[in-house]
Amino acid sequence: MRKTKAERQRLLKEKIEQTPFITDEHLAKAFQVSIQTIRLDRMELAIPELRERIKHVATNQWNETVKALSLDEVIGEIIDLELDKRAISILDITSDLVFSRNKIARGHHLFAQANSLAVAVINDELALTAKSEVKFRRQVIEGERVIAKAAVEGKDEKSRTVVQVNSYVDNEKVFSGVFYMYQSNENKGERINEISN
């Protein structure tokens, strides 16, 4: 049985409050209406489109928090961050990120999303990737959304911060990586020399 417009809009507002980064496409499927209907509902409810919701959250919560790089240097958009613990970013695979002949995402974009997230999660003004071990688990294609989740695992024997990043499309793991991060401390000069050698 179809819901009334008022009921649908009430449920739509609740759904977006619970999952603010849901797409219009997913909402259209959930409510069994057209994407245009969802957009009109959002306009009537004064709910901005997804990109604006992400930008609003990122600007308000993380602009002053991310230390190692600026937000516009992060590949993808950060939607959750707790320094030295965890971070999440999303990357929509658009036509400029894929090979034109087969619409498969270029691997360096998935790597860059994960690597920049590993840098962003470090609570330090200097964080550099010393080493990474990565695995591409399946091809990602145009139109898919990649959600990267970083978790700080601790320190290795060289006192580098170890960050595990797993990337997913619809809960299917498509990429995994372990990043070993140098960061500044009392031995900053020594560390930078070590990197450049």
- Identify the structural domains of the chain with CATH numbers, from first to last: 5-47 (1.10.10.10), 62-196 (3.10.129.10)
Q: Tell me, what's the pLDDT at 148? A: 96
Tokens of 133: 């071990």
Q: Tell me, what's the pLDDT at 126? A: 85
Residues 126 and 142: their CA atoms lie apart, in Å, by: 33
- Could you tell me where the beta strands, DSSP code E, fall in 38-85? 77-82
Q: Tell me, what's the pLDDT at 192? A: 44
**Apex 15 CA angle, 32 and 77, nearest 5:** 105
Q: Tell me, what's the pLDDT at 160? A: 93
Q: Tell me, what's the pLDDT at 16? A: 85
Residues 132 and 101: their CA atoms lie apart, in Å, by: 29
- Which residues does the chain have with pLDDT short of 70? 1, 54-68, 70-72, 185-197
Q: Tell me, what's the pLDDT at 58? A: 56
Q: Tell me, what's the pLDDT at 188? A: 45
Task: HSE, CB side, 13 Å, CA atoms: give it for residue 111.
Answer: 10
Q: Tell me, what's the pLDDT at 193? A: 44
Q: Tell me, what's the pLDDT at 48? A: 84
Q: Tell me, what's the pLDDT at 80? A: 80
